[in-house]
Amino acid sequence: MKELTWSSLENLALPVKALFTGYLLVIGLGLLMAGGQIMLTHGMADGKFGLSIDDLVYSYFGDREGSKLEAKLNGSMKDNAPPEARLVMIKWARAEAPEAEWETKIKPLTDQYCVACHANMPGLTNIGEKDLMIKVAAIDKGASLTTLTRVSHIHLFGIAFIFFFIGLIFSFATGFNPIVKALLIFTPFLFLIIDIAAWWLSKIHPGFAWLVMIGGTGYSIASTVMIFSSLYQICIKPFRTTKA
């Protein structure tokens, strides 16, 4: 009976190889799903599929040039209200939509020019309702501090555990220079810190959105190298060595 040794991935007992293989396969699939989820959320922030710097800016810094209401009144809804009515609503939005002006200034305009469609057509926000109109009039400031705090601590705790076990398994891989191996193991943690820090920095200035892209790319590449290297040495290399 083969003794349980921990000198290398190739020499592990079969039950341990099964454990490590199952973990790496599930984690690898999970990372792919995480990438898909990013593409369908952050990757659609600019209305186009695919993750871009603009997507990251809109997600964390926001689009602070105006509100959705202003964009619509100057765009697709421009012909549905006279210039003076649109100007009143735009000024209201730029003043952060004060509720005191709703009944006297804004509601009469939405009742006259907007609710015929927006209160009756499916898929359109009923801007005849004050709370919904205020949301449409709000300046897009990106992710809130509450959201950033919640998501940051979840990612730091949860993803760190993933990288810990990937690195632990990879630490038994052979054929790597010790310094290279140590750098590969440490890299995901470093880039995770860069990634999370970049969320907060991008909230302050959109120029830091590049760091979000760099952080996510860095830990993804390092994790992929470790996962595939480990799977190769667990599942494939022993058979190649036996045949040779």
Assess whether 237 and 154 both reside in one domain. Answer: yes
> What pLDDT is attached to residue 38?
86
CA separation for the pair 185, 115 (Å, rounded): 58
Contact 101, 92 (CB under 8 A): yes
Report field, pTM of the whole predicted structure over 0.75:
no
Same domain, 122 and 209: no
> Residue 110 is part of which domain span?
68-137
> 113-136: string of b/e by CB count within 10 Å (b at 16+)?
bbbeebeeeeeebbbbeeeebbeb
Domain's final residue, options 83, 118, 137: 137
Q: Are residues 83 and 187 in the same domain?
A: no
Which of 228, 65, 217 has its CA nearest to residue 142? 65
- Count the domains in the chain: 2
My answer on whether 239 and 154 are in the same domain is yes
Token couple for 126: 């009923």
Same domain for 149 and 209, yes or no, is yes
Write down the pLDDT at residue 185: 97
| Long-range CB pairs of 85-88, under 8 A, 24+ apart, other chains included | 85/109, 85/112, 85/113
Please say which residue of 102, 118, 137 terminates a domain: 137
- Among residues 84, 110, 137, the one where a domain terminates is 137
Q: Is residue 4 part of a domain?
A: no
C-alpha–C-alpha distance, residues 72 and 41, integer Å: 22
* Residue 235, phi then psi, degrees to nearest 5: -105, -30
Task: Tell whether 179 is covered by a domain.
Answer: yes
Q: Is the CB of residue 212 less than 8 Å from the CB of residue 56?
A: yes
- Residue 2: what pLDDT? 47
Averaged pLDDT, groups of 10, the chain, 244 residues long: 65 92 96 88 70 82 76 78 90 88 91 86 81 82 85 94 96 93 96 95 91 93 96 85 56
